[in-house]
Amino acid sequence: MVQNFACENNRTLQMPGISRRWFYRIAKYPEPVEHTCDVQPWRELIEKLKSRRVDLFGYIERSFLHHSTNKKQGMFSCVETIGLLKIESFDSWFKALPQRERSTIRKTQRKGLKTCVVDVDEDFVKGAFQIYNETPMRQGRKYSGYGLSLDDVRGKFLKMDNSEVMGAYLDGRLIGLMLVEFGDRVAAMSSFLSLISQRKMSPNNALIAQAVKRCSEKGYRFFTYGNMGYNPSLDFFKKNNGFKRYPVTRYYAPLTAKGQLAVKLKLCQPLEHSFSPTLTQALIPFYNTINKMLPAQSGNPDDA
């Protein structure tokens, strides 16, 4: 049975995901939720997490919306960088893009690529299934979305209360998709994937343009695209499409003695967030090599 939790801005959230790290269990929401809703360690949520033997709860402070508060006592804090796009209007975003990106988006239209908000029907699910299962490797490492069944793909798009799916179509065929979560003053990119075989059609650029257009139409002034600083090629793509690195503070609230020990030893944050951006980028080829030798793991892929 899925438990829900009512957050401060009247949005009902499911319980955060729980995973094991080192010797402790940590709970945190995925990036789209963290970016679109103010999540805090409220009493009701903490009690539910303790009942599930969670040792730490991690959350970010959306400082791009309001002033940062003082450091919380007894918590470990660290700085992460997210990809943040501030939108005044679609036209102002488009005019601020590098000339090459503007030309690319115009070319996609001349080539007949169509982008739109799509209805998640069976045709869309079948098209998305082909995209997820096109290749087992993406960005130089094993892709966790490869091998998803038709039911798995269908399940990813079941709950669309606060979301829209953007699709890129060429001659009626789905070649790219993006899931955008709309929340409290912020829209966040979730799944973002396209056919590598159709890369020359630049569906990713066209989908970002469609998403920015929808954000502008709906009155959203902030659009986030995951973390930045941990993947040079992806960071380059984000920067060229208007996203900038923005520092946010992540807090780790200890709920048990194990959690307090993790905070004391500073073992809270993921390893990739523990290194400087320069060192992280230098280690990426080594990580990719190790990743290729590990057994494939299916699950909930991070597409963005």
pLDDT tens digits along 177-198: 999 999 999 999 988 999 999 9
Chain length of the chain: 304
Rounded to an integer, what distance in angstroms lies between the CA atom of residue 80 and that of residue 59? 11
- For residue 299, what pLDDT band results from cuts at 50, 70 and 90? very low
Listed in sequence order, the residues at least 6 apart from 268 whose beta carbon sits closer than 8 Å to its beta carbon are 26, 56, 58, 76, 78, 252, 262
> What is the pLDDT, as a whole number, of residue 122?
95
The answer on pLDDT for 231 being more than 70 is: yes
pLDDT tens digits along 264-296: 998 988 766 666 666 666 656 655 555 545 554
Put simply, whether the predicted model's pTM sits higher than 0.85 gets the answer yes
Listed in sequence order, the residues at least 6 apart from 115 whose beta carbon sits closer than 8 Å to its beta carbon are 166, 167, 168, 169, 206, 207, 209, 210
> What is the pLDDT, as a whole number, of residue 210?
98
pLDDT tens digits along 49-74: 999 999 999 999 999 997 665 556 77
pLDDT tens digits along 123-155: 999 999 999 999 988 877 788 889 999 999 999
Rounded to an integer, what distance in angstroms lies between the CA atom of residue 298 and that of residue 280? 25
Domains and CATH numbers, the chain: 4-82+245-293 (no CATH), 84-244 (3.40.630.30)
Per DSSP (E only), the strands in the chain are: 4-6, 12-14, 17-21, 24-28, 56-61, 76-86, 113-117, 137-138, 141-142, 163-170, 173-182, 186-194, 222-227, 244-254
Rounded to an integer, what distance in angstroms lies between the CA atom of residue 171 and that of residue 127? 13
